[in-house]
Amino acid sequence: MKTTVEDGRGRKRTLAAGSAEPALWGLVGNTPLIPLPSSTVFDRPLPSVFLKAEWLNPGGSVKDRPALFILRDGIARGELPAKRLLDASSGNTAIAYAMLGAAAGIGVTVCVPANASVERKALLEAYGAEVVFTDPLDGSDGAIRRARQLAAAQPERYWYADQYNHPANPRAHYLTTADELWRQTAGRVTHLVAGLGTTGTLMGTGRRLKERNPAVQLVAVQPDGPFHGLEGLKHLASAIVPGIYDPVLPDRTAFVATEDAEEEVRRLAKQTGLFVGWSTGAALVAAERLGAPSSALVVIIAPDSGDRYLSEQGRLAGERR
């Protein structure tokens, strides 16, 4: 049986009442698509630009979607809740697992680089996740290697979810994000701009949108220059390339300097009241540089909000490092 509820922000959600899944799981997805006044992004009369507000997921980021689909897969395989879910994450996936796992009585162990923001560490603590901190110098690769080691050493204790290789990661976006965007733009989306971490967002959403309309342009955003913590964007520049990544799918890759992304975040908050995370700032810069025609409808995935980086006050104030 299905029941429709309002989520407190006036959005209607359909919950499977009486199903085995916690009601909290039913709140994942169906995020708003927010139009940006074009003058805030482009300095000439140009395309319609929309932000997919993924920070409005219950766990505060886009990663609620793949985490939910991966948890469902672990349950379907009979691995969860008998074992603990184990994975590597730069933070947002870890929080999503921890929150959704807590709702369902599923134990969660996450390997996270030790330089994760204090907001992330506090949230993981609050949700009761077991956290294994790894060397910040080894970045996400170090966290992945540690998770692999733990999984190999204690297979009876852990189910290694492996979001970098798990098909449920892009599939979550293929089945939810893409169809929401298609509906919300009445099929008029022409460009999708998304940062690359595990690549699940761009692979899943992009593949489905291209099936609907092969002319849709997919823009992958990566950091340019030294890595200053553009959350979730470093992996493809590093040694471990996600198994779910298909290099043929993106139409182009945009490299954005951290400083430019930060400037964009500060500007957007002041000009529109939308306070987004650093990777959204990078995607906004990439969108500006597209040179898309005024007939274009550009969708930018906004994975998380600036709230998740409040402790990084120097970057918010625009101080030079």
90 contacts ligand PMP (rule: CB under 6 A): yes
Between 199 and 217, CB nearer to ligand PMP: 199
Smallest distance, Å, CB 92 to ligand PMP? 4
Which residue is catalytic, options 63, 89, 90, 305? Answer: 63
176 contacts ligand PMP (rule: CB under 6 A): no
Is residue 234 part of the annotated active site? The answer reads: no
Is residue 83 part of the annotated active site? The answer reads: no
304 contacts ligand PMP (rule: CB under 6 A): yes
Among the listed ranges 110-118, 142-150, 191-199, 210-218, the one in contact with ligand PMP (CB under 6 A) is 191-199
Between 101 and 232, CB nearer to ligand PMP: 232
User: How many residues belong to the site for ligand PMP (CB under 6 A)?
Assistant: 17
Report the residue from 107, 195, 229, 250 that binds ligand PMP according to the rule CB under 6 A: 195
Q: For the chain, what is the HEC assignment?
A: CEEEEECCCCCEEEEECCCCCCHHHHHCCCCCEEEECHHHCCCCCCCEEEEEEHHHCCCCECCHHHHHHHHHHHHHCCCCCCCEEEEECCCHHHHHHHHHHHHHCCCEEEEEECCCCHHHHHHHHHCCCEEEEECHHHHHHHHHHHHHHHHHHCCCCEEECCCCCCCHHHHHHHHHHHHHHHHHCCCCCCEEEEECCCCHHHHHHHHHHHHHCCCCEEEEEEEECCCCCCCCCCHHHCCCCCCCCCCCCCCEEEEEEHHHHHHHHHHHHHHHCCCECHHHHHHHHHHHCCCCCCCCEEEEEECEEHHHHCCCHHHHHCCCC
Between 47 and 204, CB nearer to ligand PMP: 204
Smallest distance, Å, CB 60 to ligand PMP? 10
Smallest distance, Å, CB 162 to ligand PMP? 13
Smallest distance, Å, CB 97 to ligand PMP? 12
User: Active-site positions?
Assistant: 63, 279
Binding site for ligand PMP (CB under 6 A): 61, 63, 90, 92, 195-201, 231-232, 277, 279, 303-304
